[in-house]
Amino acid sequence: MAQARRFDSPWLVVVAATGLSVIFGIFFSFGVFLDPLIAEFGWSSALTSFVFSVYSLSYSIGAILIGRLADRYGVRSTIAVGGVLITLALGLSSRADAIWELYLTFGVMGGIGAASFWIPPTKAVMEHFESSPNLNIAVSIVAVGTGAGTLLISPVAGFFITGYGWRICYLLFALISAAISFFGVLMIKSPRVGNHPVSAANQEGGQRLSDAVRTRNFWSLFGMYVLGCGIARYTVLVYIAVYALAVGFPLQAGAFCVGLIGGGSILGRLGSGLLSKVLRDNLIVLVSFVLQGVSSVAVVLSGSIWLVYGSAFVFGIGYGAYVPQFPLLTMKSFGMRSYGLVYGVISSGLGFGALAGPPVLGGLLFSATGNYFLTFVLSGAFSLVAAVMALLIRIQN
């Protein structure tokens, strides 16, 4: 009996959910693949970076569907679907010979699959911890996974691309995602409502999507996803490695920049959980977007690779700190009754922003100006607008 209780520990759910979030590092490392893909196929920068925009848009559409399925059928089934989709997406991407194939595999299949690795796991964690003072800490630990994935996977991608090619690298990532998916399906489940009266009360008192969309909190969260995450964050993530190459640094230096963003985001995510003891969630979000915006501009004002590295690390701290706050603010604003669907719709703003961000701010501006200066400056401006929007969020204690 004691062994069964240990096996069902909520912290084991946190560990498994954190492992699933590591997979996001594979998709966030796309900027490391950008130049090798352009070199092999001769595609334009805008056309190639649009692969990531398709992924982001697919993630957003998939988030709505996955969120609804998680509410109705539970988290395990949706995680299993995501694991199959991501493994197939990466395996098939390694065989791609045309841009449309990457749009379909990495973009569409990968995006829908990735939605299963964030919304259902965070839903399970919050169901286990919603009445616990460790709620913010638990969600922050899960969010650490995406930062750890970016930190570890981007340098690994740079190493394997340099030594073995991008195709072998995607095959390796397919195997990694399959193993982590299997572990997540085994370990993650929602608590039984009958033994969890707080969860039951929250679900009864929570808002439906039709109620949530009438609130200022909903549109503020959605707007921050569009501007601060989809446009600003993803543009920097996709182009910082290419920027490093453009100013004369090697591919590994660019990959290291992406890794530093991941490393900084780990610190930001952990710090976010600790700051929640003294700051309101929306103020943590405000400070986070300010850090992200200022460091975005600092990248192109830096005169040496060491200053670029420092800017990348601060950027990571900023973006890492707000990641766990979005699901928490969604839960605290609207409850758990339709959490999956409501958060899925809110997070869909990320894809709509990414649809415009990387290809327009990166690809088209580079084609027009021949450099990435405006790309990073405008990304910083969008982050600061998102910071102002954080002030509109109101949570009743």
For the chain, domain boundaries: 10-189+199-392
Q: What is the distance between the alpha carbons of residues 233 and 121, in angstroms, rounded to a whole number?
A: 22
pLDDT at 396: 64
pLDDT at 381: 93
Region label for 301, one of left (φ > 0), alpha (ψ between -120 and 50) or beta (otherwise): alpha
Which residues of the chain are modeled with pLDDT < 70?
1-8, 190-205, 303, 358-359, 362, 396-397
Q: What is the distance between the alpha carbons of residues 303 and 158, in angstroms, rounded to a whole number?
A: 24
**Average pLDDT in the chain:** 84
- Note the pLDDT tens digit of each residue in 106-147: 999 999 999 898 889 988 898 888 777 888 888 888 888 877
* 59 half-sphere exposure, CB direction, 13 A CA radius: 31
pLDDT at 4: 45
Sort 244 into a burial class: Cβ within 10 Å, 0-12 / 13-18 / 19+.
buried
Class of domain 10-189+199-392: mainly alpha
Q: Which amino acid is at 329?
A: L
pLDDT at 197: 37
- Note the pLDDT tens digit of each residue in 207-228: 888 899 999 999 999 999 999 9
- DSSP 3-state of 280: coil
Q: From residue 166, give the alpha-carbon distance in Å to each of 163, 172, 189, 239.
A: 9, 10, 35, 18
pLDDT at 284: 93
Prediction pTM value: 0.77
